[in-house]
Amino acid sequence: MNSQHKNNDIIHTYDISLVGYLNDTTWFGSSQQQIEEKLSIANSFYDLNNIKVNMDKYRILTNDRSIKQSTITLTINNQQYDAPIMSRNKSERILGLYINTSDRHTQTIQKAIQKIYNTVSEIWYPRIPHNINDYTDLVAKPTYLTKMLGLSSNYGFSFNFTFDINILGGNTPIRDYMSDLTAADIQSLKAKNIIYMDQVMSSDGNYLLSWPDVKRNNNDNYKENIPAWYNNLANNYVLSNNLRLIHPLNDVVSNINRIHKSPQLILAISEPKFQWTIHWNNTQKQVIFGKTLSQDTDRSTSISYLQHYIPQQTHHDINLTPKRQLLGLVAYT
């Protein structure tokens, strides 16, 4: 190139297919030779401008099924470099997007679902609520997705996901039941994996469980002192020392497997003398006890024959709370 005699300049034109942003560049080519030519031109430019390029970060994505090896040797300006060939089913992140040569979106979908569950964990709510801004006040550093959902909610937009993201285990989120939780309370609930009120109340929905019972239901995994959120429940959400809730719940999910261990299975027909079971009758809203008369475990399933009893109040003492009233068991026929 001569600035004084531009007519004598020789212009070389190259068609280059690439996507680049800052230090992230993706080159496209229909063959290995074409890729090597493009990289050689780019490398000459880097040398001219004293730009350092990390050749070890080269990755090859190809849909050529005849290529079976895991690496390929590229010749760039007469120097050879080994570059790994990515699996056709594995995606590579390019400018924030996950791309693979089979045009499969599994990894992108998995990443998106993980982002959604990160938001669920941030706001500590079993699903993405339409009024998400009511639950982000205690989030110190919300993720981009949480911010985006909150901004969309401000303008009246909401998102209905085509897949189920609900966390199971209850019907009443503890954040809906308690309006005065603090950021420290949320961290404590997260550490104990308590997201529903159903996890800390009796199966009939009328009573708050004692703290020892809450610990027992969770395999005694809580070693620290009684947390502030539980003291708040016990002091401000119950009527008296018997822990009866001011606002009981009608539909409670109880996971009985977390509370009781199944008896050892013995292959025989037996008549246990002191074996009792307890059931909740949701229609009558009361507990039903069952005394085992006989148990048949001599087949693939266990069949127990029970005599059912229902608790009935034998007498009424106005000086006693409902929990302390004397109850008797009456055979249910």
Over residues 4-16, the pLDDT tens digits come to 667 777 777 767 6
Q: What is the mean pLDDT of residues 276-305?
A: 79
The alpha helices in the chain, defined as continuous H runs, are 32-48, 106-123, 144-154, 174-177, 183-192, 211-217, 228-236
Is residue 171 within 8 Å of 198, Cβ to Cβ?
yes
Is residue 129 within 8 Å of 136, Cβ to Cβ?
no
Q: What is the mean pLDDT of residues 43-59?
A: 87
What pLDDT does 259 receive? 46
From the number of C-beta atoms within 10 Å of its C-beta (0-12, 13-18, 19+), residue 123 rates as: buried
- pLDDT tens by residue, 222-240: 777 899 999 999 999 998 8
Q: Which has the higher per-residue pLDDT, 221 or 188?
A: 188
Query: Both tokens of residue 286?
Result: 């009361």
What pLDDT does 184 receive? 93
Q: For CA atoms 159, 164, 167, 170, give the dihedral sign.
A: positive
User: How many residues does the structure list for the chain?
Assistant: 333
Arithmetic mean of pLDDT over the chain: 82
Where is mean pLDDT largest: 140-144, 252-256, 261-265? 140-144
For residue 267, what pLDDT band results from cuts at 50, 70 and 90?
low
- As a whole number of angstroms, the distance between CA 121 and CA 193 comes to 10
What pLDDT does 231 receive? 94
Q: What is the mean pLDDT of residues 294-309?
A: 76
What pLDDT does 7 receive? 76
Where is mean pLDDT largest: 76-90, 118-132, 159-173, 262-276? 118-132
- pLDDT tens by residue, 110-130: 888 888 888 999 999 998 888
Beta-carbon contacts of 94 under 8 Å, excluding residues fewer than 6 positions away, are: 19, 24, 26
Q: What is the mean pLDDT of residues 289-299?
A: 79
Nearest alpha carbon to residue 169 among 194, 202, 132: 194
- As a whole number of angstroms, the distance between CA 322 and CA 313 comes to 10
What DSSP string describes 57-123?
Answer: G--B----TT--SSEEEEEETTEEEEEEBPPTTS-EEETTEEE-TT---HHHHHHHHHHHHHHHHHH
% of the chain residues with pLDDT over 70:
88
Is residue 197 within 8 Å of 170, Cβ to Cβ?
yes
pLDDT at 256 over 60: no
Q: For CA atoms 267, 273, 278, 279, give the dihedral sign.
A: positive
pLDDT at 147 over 60: yes
